[in-house]
Amino acid sequence: MANVKLAVIYYSMGGTNYQLAQWAEAGGKEAGAEVKLFKIPETAPKEVIEGNPGWKAHVEATGHVPEITLNDLEWADAIVFSIPTRFGNVPGQVKQFLDTTGGLWFHGKLVNKVVSAMSSAQNYHGGQEATILSLYTSMYHWGAIIAAPGYTDPVTFGAGGNPYGTSVTVDQNGKMIEDVEAAVKHQAKRTATVAEWVKKGLH
């Protein structure tokens, strides 16, 4: 792979999207990309997090994961996002970070980034696909190239696979109902592969 730099960026309260991101990280590395894992900066008040044992535990367990910066976005050729749904839209933390990318956008630094996204919710048809498509709307403004999985591999027809991006349902105990590891890895590999095509075409 022609030196493809893949950023896997997630936001997670309970760990689901962190797990998806780790699978994407593994898939990108299997494809031969240089992969870095980042989390979206947390903006929720500390007292709110402290009042939710599961959320607090996840924040503490992922303290080692670096927060995404604008420099990291500029570094990446390809990006895989993994985020939960919030009323069919992206979480406020994600939107707040995206709103800081105006400078990069203005200078054309986000053009031709190859992007793909994944999502989760606590019930079937709980907004996962709408969240992915909502994120893609911002990517169109970036001038990014969307590398949705489509039906490019039989794994997409399985549980959790869909043409927009892998999505999962989480039960009340925080456990993923669908087995999506293979779908996530395929999506990450496809994203890195498309980025390689783009890089070769630009040079």
- Confidence grade of residue 202 (pLDDT, cut at 50, 70, 90): low
Sketch the domain layout of the chain as residue ranges.
Answer: 5-202
- Confidence grade of residue 122 (pLDDT, cut at 50, 70, 90): confident
- Confidence grade of residue 65 (pLDDT, cut at 50, 70, 90): very high
* Assigned architecture for domain 5-202: 3-Layer(aba) Sandwich (3.40)
> Rounded to 10 degrees, what is the CA torsion of 55, 67, 8, 123?
20
Hey, what amino acid is at 136? Y
Q: Mean per-residue pLDDT for 64-75? A: 97
pLDDT greater at residue 173 or residue 30:
30
How do residues 135-193 score in pLDDT, each as one tens digit?
A: 999 999 999 999 999 999 998 887 777 899 999 998 887 888 888 999 999 999 999 99
How do residues 101-112 score in pLDDT, each as one tens digit?
A: 999 999 999 999
